[in-house]
Structures are given as C-alpha cells and as structure tokens.
C-alpha cells in the first residue's frame, strides 16, 4: 500500500540541506512508512510521463541531462554492447523515473532493479525490454539494489511472468520480512509492536503529539496491507551472481538502506550504484525503527568503499538508478562526503546554540529548502529522521551527548 500513497506532493518540496539538495530533489520512499513521510502523502495522480522511445545508439550526455532536468522520460539506451538502460516512471514528481538496467544473457536477460509497482511502470519496462529485443518472459534474474518501492515494487510481477529469481542483500530481505506482517504468527500483535516502535521513536524526538498520531494511524493502515514479494536469493558483499557472460560483483553499501548493493563490472568498467551515489541528488540517510543504529556512519563508510572499488576496477562510468549516468565517481563521492561534513557542522552548531533540545526542535532550526513552518508534517518527519541520523553520528564521535528521556535531549559534548 505504500506504493499507492507515496506519491505526488512529496516531490514538490524537499526539506533537504539547501545548497546540496537542489530544488526538486527527492524525498524518496523508504521502506518504513513511519520513517518515511513520503508514504504519508495523499494519493495523487501519477506524474504524467511520455513513454520512452527506444533508440539503439546512446544519446549525448548533455541530452540525457537535459531530459533529466526538463521532465521528459529519457530514451531507452544501449549503454554498452549487451547492456541497456530503461527508464521506468515513478509517480513522484521530482524523481520521475528509475533506471532499470538490462543485461543480455545467452538465454534471456537479467535486470538490475525492477521499478515501481504500477501498470504504467510495468508497461514502460516491457516496452523497454522489447526495444532491447526481449520480452518480460525472458527475464531470468532480478537483482535489486535495495527494497525501496521504486526499485523493488515490480520485482514480484516480473517473477510471476517469467519465473526469474529475485536477489537482494540479507539486510534488505529482513526489511521485507518485517513488512510482511501477514506472515507473523499473530499479525495483529506484530502490527501493534511495530506501531509501538514507530511511536516511541517520534516521542523520543519530541515530535508534536498531532504529528505522532497522524504518523502512527497512517503506519497502522500501511503495515496491515503492505506485502512486498519474498526474495529468492540472498546476495552478500563480494558475491558474483551467476550471470553467464558477466563478471558482475556485488558491493554491499549500507546507509541509504541497510542492505543496499552496488554492482561493479571490471570487464565493462561500469559501476551500477542504485541510490547510493547519484549525480545530483543526495540520498536520504535516516534513523527509523528498522534502521541500523548509526546509518550515517554506514553510509559514509560505504561511500569510501565504493570509491576505492571503482578505482580498483578501473570504472569509467557510473550507472545510477535515477537521473543520468556520469563519469567521475571519485569527485561525486568527495562532494557527497563534503556535504555531510558541512551538515554535521551545522547540526553541531545548532545543538550548541539550543543548549539542550530535542531532535525535532533542532531539525526545525536547520536550513531547509523552504521555511520549516511551510513544510508538510510528513516531510518534517523525514527531515527529523535525517537530523537524527546526523545527531547519532555526532554522538558516536563524542561531539554531542544525549540525555535519554521523552524526549531525548541533545547537548554539546563536555
């Protein structure tokens, strides 16, 4: 059900750090509805996108960037011999599409990510595969970078039509298990326990009572109905999925999602980065009830990891899951790291200025892309959870300290 509500208005604003998160960047769906204010957006018509027109020759980089900026769905492209990029629409205005990569195999095709679970997305995926010379029934494998609905949503439908296996990292497989409350011995008790944790997180952040009530009610609705497809194969760090003709190697890059995977091919000198490294957007890294304790530390470590892996493999092009492909991995990673360094400094300063404040209040004092008062509450929750990820990181480095309570209060160190 997340897929039906995580749309629309969310894309219009971004409570992101202003300089890095350019206007129109993405409040992306995350697997947990309470952690994800986008999931609270009212249902709206899906973004209208024109169908990708297939072309077998790559378009110029500038053309791709322009398409990415001006709202068109880019063309299906052959990125390398045997490797295709298929834009699949996402009903979030600022995201617009996810790039599914199709890898030709001797007996069919493998795809990396599947797209949003909608008829429109499914049609775009089928058309894209057709442009590459395949039917959806030819799909042998669905490798998933992470289980957010824009990447994982269609995996189950593709498997139904093709018998493909679905592969994810074990940590994201745990998220799927967590969301399939129907599989629990006592589903209602399981929902209640999840909602208790959702509420506790917001209370410890000092969120206003009406925000907590709204979030928990919404999460309750979603948790009862969300049932993402069960994965078939677990892909661990360093694994080489069985794909004849390919030397793809998985790199575990937790942070944006605990089980996020990138895939590198030395022979093609490409790195598929999912949402871990995007050319303009800063991926959301937030604390939520199902996240690891310090996701920002994980994310920054994963940035360093993928930078080194890219250099070691002689990667010449990065193939991200949104926006457009680009060349300079190291520069982009450095930029993302610098962004978080600045944001951490801003948050540390806000803690010092407040002298004992809850996360929600600290978040309200930060620079966002629009005034805090005009940010809808579901996006404030996302901003809060992102702020919390930074506070937890600062605490882990001894730069701020937390006095536990309801809410937890944050103070300068020492």
Contacting positions for Zn ion (CB under 5 A) = 28, 148, 150, 275
Q: Pseudo-torsion of CA 219, 220, 221, 227, nearest 10°? A: 80
Comparison of 28 and 408: residue with beta carbon closer to Zn ion: 28
DSSP string, 245-265: T--EEEEE--SSSTT-EEEEE
- Report the nearest approach of Zn ion to the CB of residue 119 (Å): 20
* Residue 114 vs 141, nearer CB to Zn ion: 114
Least CB distance from residue 38 to Zn ion, whole Å?
Answer: 11
Report d(CA 350, CA 395) in Å as an integer. Answer: 14
Q: Would you call 297 helix, strand, or coil by DSSP?
A: helix
Which residue, 32 or 275, is less far from Zn ion as judged by CB?
275
Asked whether 57 and 85 are in contact (CB, 8 A), the reply is no
* Residues 130, 395: Cα–Cα separation, whole Å: 51
- Residue 290 CB, nearest distance to Zn ion (Å)? 14
| Minimum distance from residue 146 beta carbon to Zn ion (Å) | 6
Residues 42, 12: contact at Cβ < 8 Å? no
Minimum distance, C-beta of residue 98 to Zn ion, in the bound complex (Å): 6
* Minimum separation from the CB atom of position 322 to Zn ion (A): 6
**Which CB atom, from 148 or from 199, has the smaller least distance to Zn ion?**
148
Nearest to Zn ion of 151, 399 (CB atom): 151
C-alpha closest to that of 28 among 285, 302, 389: 285
CA-based end-to-end distance of the chain: 46
Cβ-based nearer residue to Zn ion, 351 or 389: 389
Contacts of 70 (CB under 8 A, 6+ apart): none
Residue 44 is encoded by which pair of tokens?
């709206």
CB 48 within 8 A of CB 39: no
Residue with smaller CB distance to Zn ion, 190 or 256: 256
Closest residue to Zn ion using C-beta atoms:
148
Return the SS3 of 346: helix
Shortest Å, Cβ 37 to Zn ion? 14
Hey, what are 406's tokens? 């309801």
């Amino acid at each position: 059900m997340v897929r039906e509500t995580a749309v629309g208005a969310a894309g219009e604003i971004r409570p992101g750090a202003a300089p890095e998160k350019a206007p129109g960047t993405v409040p992306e769906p995350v697997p947990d509805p309470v952690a994800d204010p986008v999931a609270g957006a009212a249902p709206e018509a899906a973004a209208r996108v024109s169908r990708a027109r297939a072309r077998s020759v790559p378009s110029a980089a500038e053309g791709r960037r322009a398409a990415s900026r001006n709202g068109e769905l880019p063309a299906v492209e052959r990125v390398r011999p045997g490797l295709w990029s298929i834009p699949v629409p996402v009903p979030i205005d600022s995201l617009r599409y996810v790039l599914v990569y199709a890898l030709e195999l001797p007996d069919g095709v493998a795809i990396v990510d599947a797209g949003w679970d909608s008829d429109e997305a499914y049609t775009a995926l089928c058309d894209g595969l057709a442009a590459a010379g395949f039917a959806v029934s030819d799909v042998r494998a669905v490798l998933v970078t992470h289980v957010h609905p824009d990447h994982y949503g269609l995996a189950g439908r593709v498997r139904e039509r093709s018998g493909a296996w679905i592969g994810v990292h074990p940590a994201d497989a745990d998220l799927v298990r967590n969301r399939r409350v129907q599989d629990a011995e006592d589903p209602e008790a399981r929902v209640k326990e999840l909602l208790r944790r959702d509420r506790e997180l917001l209370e410890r952040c000092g969120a206003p009572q009406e925000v907590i009530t709204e979030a928990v009610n919404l999460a309750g609705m979603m948790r009862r109905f969300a049932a993402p497809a069960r994965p078939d194969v677990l892909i661990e760090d360093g694994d080489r999925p069985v794909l004849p003709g390919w030397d793809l190697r998985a790199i575990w890059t937790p942070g944006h999602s605990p089980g996020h995977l990138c895939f590198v091919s030395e022979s093609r000198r490409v790195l598929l980065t999912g949402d871990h490294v995007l050319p303009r957007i800063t991926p959301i890294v937030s604390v939520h009830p199902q996240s690891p304790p310090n996701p920002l530390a994980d994310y920054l470590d994963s940035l360093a990891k993928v930078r080194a892996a890219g250099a070691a493999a002689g990667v010449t092009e990065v193939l991200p899951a949104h926006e457009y492909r680009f060349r300079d991995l190291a520069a982009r990673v450095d930029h993302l790291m610098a962004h978080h360094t600045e944001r951490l400094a801003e948050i540390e300063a806000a803690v010092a200025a407040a002298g004992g404040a809850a996360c929600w209040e600290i978040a309200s004092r930060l620079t966002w892309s629009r005034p805090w008062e005009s940010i809808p509450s579901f996006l404030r929750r996302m901003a809060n959870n992102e702020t919390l990820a930074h506070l937890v990181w600062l605490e882990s480095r001894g730069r701020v300290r937390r006095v536990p309570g309801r809410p937890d209060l944050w103070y300068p160190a020492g």
